Structure 1
Amino acid sequence: MQQVVQDAESGRRHADKLVKVWARDGSETWVLIDVEIQGEAERAFAEHMYVYHYRVFDRYRVDVVSLGVLTDMTAGFRPAGYRWSRWGCAIEFRFPCVKLLDWQARWSELEASENVFALMVMTQLRAKTSRDAEECSVWTFQLVRRLYERGYPREVVLELFRVIDWMMRLPEGLERQFLTAVYELEETKKMPYVTSAERFGIEKGLQQGLEQGLRQGEAAVLLRLIERKYGPEAVTAYRNRVEQADAETLLKWSERLLAAETVDEVFH
């Protein structure tokens, strides 16, 4: 997707996933999945959905279906299409969107579902709505326990475990308690999925690499959000400051980003 959307006048942009699938009748379809991960509604979301869509079509000349997945917590943010018209020339582009927030009222359905993506939706909702780290820790363990209880293959459990751990990041003290609880759960279930070597790696990562890895990840996310809200020029202007900032400063800037009208307000 990067090759498709680069070199635009507005700068380099990235879509999340572009996949080729086959319908039940055997026909080929390309699916563009754009995931809105900002904590607030993005005014230009519908426009860049349209831009991504026509660039894929222009490059490959194939049928493209664009799907939006909204993970923000703004109930009224529900883009459904992009429209433009002037002097009799008009464009109307419509696309379906899924709002994860809608599933909060359908929590029992998620709990009953055997679909692994139900767990991912539950994780995202709890990550957004948990009030404090203790509550987040409780929910993280409950979600991981469901992985073990549903009998998924070891590879699936470990992959989803990593995703949940990434989405529900806990402070170091609670992280250790959480891992201890997971080890005890494995012993009870007789499912030693997390090996001794992996446990050692996790512990070592907590002691040596957690701070640096988190800071780099937070910087990358902040730069992406700045690009999507203010444009690539803002990223160019502030990239060095973001990449050199400590974790506390990155958090402060991220919080300012939610309400700032201009990029200068974020950093001053």
Structure 2
Amino acid sequence: MDTPDDYDSPWKDAVEHYFPEFIAFYFPDASQQINWARGHEFLDQELRAVVQDAELGKRFVDKLAKVALQDGSERWVYVHLEVQGSAQAEFAEQMFVYNYRLYDRYRQPVASLALLADTTPHWRPDHFSFAVLGCKHELCFPVAKLLDYTQDQAGLYANPNPFALVTLAHLLTQATRQDMNARFAAKWKLVQLLYQRGWDKQRVIDLFSVMDWMMRLPEQLKRSLWHNIEVLEEQEKMRYVTSVEQLYSEKWMQQGLIQGRAEGEAYALQRLLQKRFGPLSEDVLARLQTARVDELELWLDRALDADTLAGVFAQ
């Protein structure tokens, strides 16, 4: 039986749906060497086999894709997306292990790329090596860090690549963690930007899903935002984002996962905590099941970048 991939996140959906834009934004040098006109293919089964066989650390989104290069050859690109990352000593080793396991199993050269979203400015793992008796084995890999974009937010607002908006949403989520009114204003600005881009309906919905998942708001501000969106869509004669809430409701109901809002919040938080911190104790599980909705929303917000489980539940 296959183990689940992290949890179903809009981040993962965005990477899958807009993979060329993802590579172009975060790894432009690599993107220029790829012949995107020949398309790309995700190799989920190949990656799953290696990940199960060499589990190290906590993953958020891993993707393995086959692409064609400008020189006519085909190569595999392994992307490790550590969206909720914290500084982990084993991270570079994990990249090394996945790279050589993929090569060992499939005899395919693999390009490993890492996107980091931790909050530690000087943590930039980009290689792993060891040397024994004159024999040296080393992997060096390109790294992009979301924190590096903090000083160029004006450039992000102007950049037409969808991952400029995703990066903005991430940075603004961190910057407004203690000020929900500021988060509301930032989120509303990004929503308006969605409509100004002239993107098609599916892209607007996909990117709103990422933004909405990151930039969580208290219930009162959430209602205010939805009211603003409804007015905006009436003015623009577009019924895009207001369909998202209904789409999510239908998805959860079909899966039988939510029987009321509290259960849904508790389920989402439980999966997130398990993926970030490992198996949960009975006390933690009981706490989730008996918590109020406002408590669950607070913990969900903290769980996005807390370094420890205790940090999520801190008073």
* TM-score normalised by L of structure 2: 0.70
Bigger mean CA offset, 51-60 vs 61-70: 51-60
The one of 74, 79, 93 aligned to 2:120 = 74
* Structure 1 residue 163, shift from structure 2 partner: 1.4
* Structure 1 residue 40, shift from structure 2 partner: 2.7
Residue segments in structure 1 that go unaligned for 5+ positions in a row: 228-234
> Using a 3 Å threshold, how does the CA distance of structure 1 residues 31 and 133 change in structure 2: closer, same or farther?
same
* Structure 1 residue 242, shift from structure 2 partner: 4.6
Instruction: State the distance in 1 between where 2:199 and 2:56 align.
Output: 44
Instruction: State the distance in 2 between where 1:202 and 1:36 align.
Output: 25
CA contact (8 A) 2:65 2:77 kept: yes
Give the corresponding residue for 2:188. Answer: 141
- Residues 78-118 of structure 1 show CA distances to partners (whole Å, capped at 9, x for unaligned) of 11101222333332111110011111111121111111111
> Which amino acid in 2 is paired with 1:174?
L
Give the corresponding residue for 1:3. Answer: 49
- SS at structure 2 position matched to 1:181: helix
* Structure 1 residue 39, shift from structure 2 partner: 5.2
Give the corresponding residue for 2:307. Answer: 258
Bigger mean CA offset, 72-81 vs 5-14: 5-14
CA contact (8 A) 1:41 1:77 kept: yes
Instruction: State the distance in 2 between where 1:150 and 1:52 align.
Output: 38
- Residues 165-192 of structure 1 show CA distances to partners (whole Å, capped at 9, x for unaligned) of 1111112111111111111111122222
The one of 173, 186, 196 aligned to 1:127 = 173
* Structure 1 residue 23, shift from structure 2 partner: 1.8
Instruction: State the distance in 1 between where 2:161 and 2:304 align.
Output: 34
* Structure 1 residue 145, shift from structure 2 partner: 0.9
Give the corresponding residue for 2:94. Answer: 48
- SS at structure 2 position matched to 1:78: coil
The one of 94, 98, 106 aligned to 2:152 = 106
* Structure 1 residue 12, shift from structure 2 partner: 9.8
Give the corresponding residue for 2:6. Answer: none
> Using a 3 Å threshold, how does the CA distance of structure 1 residues 97 and 61 change in structure 2: closer, same or farther?
same
Instruction: State the distance in 2 between where 1:202 and 1:12 align.
Output: 26
> Using a 3 Å threshold, how does the CA distance of structure 1 residues 140 and 101 change in structure 2: closer, same or farther?
same
Runs of 4+ in 1 over 6 A off after TM superposition: 9-14, 201-205
> Using a 3 Å threshold, how does the CA distance of structure 1 residues 240 and 187 change in structure 2: closer, same or farther?
same
* Structure 1 residue 211, shift from structure 2 partner: 2.9
- TM-align CA RMSD: 3.3
> Which amino acid in 2 is paired with 1:149?
Q
- SS at structure 1 position matched to 2:173: helix
CA contact (8 A) 2:129 2:138 kept: yes
After TM superposition, the structure 1 = structure 2 runs for residues 159-198 of structure 1, keeping only pairs within 5 Å, are: 159-194=206-241
CA contact (8 A) 2:272 2:303 kept: no
Bigger mean CA offset, 84-93 vs 39-48: 84-93
Instruction: State the distance in 2 between where 1:80 and 1:209 align.
Output: 44
Q: Percent of counterpart pairs with the same letter?
A: 38
CA contact (8 A) 2:86 2:305 kept: no
> Using a 3 Å threshold, how does the CA distance of structure 1 residues 153 and 67 change in structure 2: closer, same or farther?
same
The one of 184, 205, 209 aligned to 1:158 = 205
CA contact (8 A) 2:59 2:275 kept: no
Give the corresponding residue for 2:32. Answer: none
> Which amino acid in 2 is paired with 1:188?
Q
Instruction: State the distance in 1 between where 2:165 and 2:97 align.
Output: 31
The one of 130, 151, 165 aligned to 1:84 = 130
1:224 equivalent in alignment to 2:275: yes
> Using a 3 Å threshold, how does the CA distance of structure 1 residues 191 and 77 change in structure 2: closer, same or farther?
same
* TM-score normalised by L of structure 1: 0.81
CA contact (8 A) 1:126 1:139 kept: yes
